[in-house]
Amino acid sequence: MSAAEISVDELMAVWKDGDAAIVDVREPDEYVEAHIPGVQLIPMGSVIEQLDQIPRDRTVYLVCAVGGRSGQVADYLDAQGYDVRNVAGGTNAWLRAGHPVETGLPE
């Protein structure tokens, strides 16, 4: 079974509320180029070691470049009992839709 997906426009509606748990699973160099403002960076290869940094008390939205890596992580987290949504189209679709982005490393 695959984790549920949402579109970047659906994510935008949740993101606007300001307290969405969004995790970017891309590599740091990809994140630096452009990312959704306020997202948490946990590269795909670090997810298992950093599970304690992923909230269990609310829906977690997972994003990568186009949705493949985040889909794999979403399936894994779903199997661990997390409430997750994979963002279809990923950061590339977010950029194409003209939604806000930031550059640089997390603070």
DSSP-derived letter for residue 70 is H
Domains of the chain, with CATH numbers?
Answer: 4-96 (3.40.250.10)
> Among residues 23, 63, 64, 95, which one is catalytic?
64
CB neighbours (10 Å) of residue 61? 23
DSSP-derived letter for residue 40 is E
Query: Is pLDDT of 91 > 70?
Result: yes
pTM score of the predicted model: 0.95
Report H helices in the chain. 8-16, 28-33, 68-79, 90-96
CA-to-CA separations, 90 to 1, 2, 22, 49, 68, in angstroms, rounded: 20, 16, 12, 23, 8
List, for residues 15-69, the tens digit of each pLDDT value.
998 889 999 999 999 999 999 999 999 999 999 999 999 999 999 999 999 999 9
26 is catalytic: no
